[in-house]
Amino acid sequence: MAKPPKENSPITEHLAYLLAQANREINRQLETRLSKEGVPVEQWRILKVLSDGNGHSMGELAEAVLLNHPTLTKMIDRMVSDALVYRVQDPKDRRKVLMFVSDRGKALSRRLNSLAVSQEEHIVESYGDKSTNELKRLLENLIGSAN
Amino acid sequence: MAKPPKENSPITEHLAYLLAQANREINRQLETRLSKEGVPVEQWRILKVLSDGNGHSMGELAEAVLLNHPTLTKMIDRMVSDALVYRVQDPKDRRKVLMFVSDRGKALSRRLNSLAVSQEEHIVESYGDKSTNELKRLLENLIGSAN
DNA sequence: CTTCAAATGTTGAATATTCAATATTTTCAC
DNA sequence: GTGAAAATATTGAATATTCAACATTTGAAG
């Protein structure tokens, strides 16, 4: 039974540590899959978010893909060079830049999604459908409560 | 009900994404607490692991604190400069270096643990005891099944 | 015993991330 | 309407991380 960790209890009883460890492992698995397309996980996230076809501002996008502003700017620079996405100045608010995915980006996004889905299926296989869903639910609640 | 994500389902239904998001938020909270001592989360992990008083090799330690080798080496360099830890060559296997925590490191570790425990108590408060324990259990199982 | 492969840790160069400062545009108080 | 403050994105310098190469030591095959 997990109890709230005391000062001398092992680090493996801390939620913060367990989250970091689980995240690291799952992220590595995903990274390995995506490396088939030579793309880092963050670019998958970016393309996936942009794939709704709407323009997203940099701030919005940074929040959604879990990157801070300057890091995102530089990653987007690369993706623009690779013609995966493009910038449009927001006509409603000219401070903002709206990001869109190109056709090339859409095609890549489809291939990446297929890899990501297959990874998740692999997790469900070895970890179980019930546990996976339960874990997702708990994570959503945690994220909601942590804001 | 969470289902295995399809190719066009939002990124928030991917376990990999939920883990990354939860980890990011909890890690930020912890970071904020630990900043009172001016110490990054990784150094808390290192001190905590070394606080069992046994010597740990760099490889072992890198695995335990979720850092890769060169990153750990450089962080340990800093901590040696700060007199928090020290290196001893393993007499049994002279390729290895055994890391130990100094008295100064132990004192800091106690203060950091207290901050970390208080953070976890805060999580339990707002998220619930039952959910927290259940989440920990599921994460442990995931980590076990992913190896 | 010698030699060669594997294990361990560190280093330096290349790359990526972050922090603080900047530029631009909008909003809001007056 | 004007000017100050806030919001948004980018940039450049400072830091940190990673990759590949290296050095040392051990283990094991012959």
Reduce the DSSP state of residue B17 to 3 states and report it: helix
> Cα–Cα distance between A106 and A85 in angstroms, integer?
9
Which amino acid, residue A67? L
Tell me the percentage of chain B whose pLDDT exceeds 70: 96
Q: What Cα–Cα distance (Å) separates residue A77 from each residue in A58, A73, A86, B114? A: 12, 6, 9, 43
- Tell me which residue in A16, A120, A127 faces B145 most closely, judged by beta carbons: A127
Q: Kindly state whether residue B22 falls inside one of the protein's structural domains.
A: no
Q: For residue B63, is it within any domain?
A: yes
Q: Which nucleotides of C are covered by protein (CB under 7 A)?
A: 7-12, 16-20, 24-27
Measure in Å the smallest separation between the Cα of A73 and chain B Cα atoms: 19
**Helices then strands, each counted (H, E), chain B:** 6, 3
> What is the rounded CA–CA span in Å between residue A56 and residue A78?
17
Q: Confirm whether any atom of chain D, the nucleic acid strand, is less than 7 Å from CB of A128.
A: no
- Cβ atoms of residues A137 and B2 within 8 Å: yes
Taking an 8 Å cut-off on Cβ atoms, the answer to whether A134 and B138 are in contact is yes
Q: Which nucleotide is nearest to A99 (CA to C1')?
A: D9
Identify whether A142 is part of a domain.
no
pLDDT digits (tens, 9 = 90+) for A80-124: 999 999 999 999 999 999 999 999 999 999 999 999 999 999 999
Which nucleotide has the shortest C1'-to-CA distance from A89? D9
- Does the residue A116 lie in any domain? yes
Residue in B closest to A133 by C-alpha: B2
Task: Give residue A7's pLDDT band: very low, low, confident or very high (50, 70, 90).
Answer: confident
Pairwise CA distance, residues B73 & B62, whole Å: 9
Rounded Cα–Cα distance for residues B145 and B18 (Å) = 18
Distances (CA, A) of A98 to A53, A83, A93, B137: 11, 15, 10, 42
Closest CA to A80 of A60, A97, A59: A97
| Boundaries of domain holding A36 | 27-120
Indicate yes or no: strand D within 7 A of the C-beta of A69. yes
Is residue B10 domain-resident?
no
Q: A124: which chain B residues are within 8 Å (Cβ-Cβ)?
A: 4
Query: Which pair of tokens denotes residue B68?
Result: 């890769």
What pLDDT was estimated at residue A57?
Answer: 98
**Interatomic CA–C1' length for residue A10 and nucleotide D7, angstroms:** 44
Interface with chain B: mutation pick from A8, A42, A142, A143, highest number of B CBs within 10 Å: A142
If one counts the domains in chain B, the total is 1
Given a cut of 60, whether residue A1 has pLDDT beyond it is no
Q: Place B1 in a pLDDT band, splitting at 50, 70 and 90.
A: very low
Please report whether residue A15 resides in a domain.
no
Q: Amino acid identity of A42?
A: E
B145 belongs to a structural domain: no
Digit-coded pLDDT (tens) for A100-110: 999 999 999 99
Mean pLDDT of B36-43: 96
Is A14–B133 a contact, with Cβ atoms under 8 angstroms apart?
A: no
Q: What is the CATH number of the domain that holds A112?
A: 1.10.10.10
**Contact across the interface for B142 and A136, Cβ inside 8 Å:** no
B97 falls within a domain: yes
Determine the average pLDDT of the residues in A40-45: 98
pLDDT at B87: 98
C-alpha to C-alpha distance for B111 and A76, rounded to whole angstroms: 41
Contact A4 B139 (CB under 8 A): no
Token pair listed for B51: 């606080």
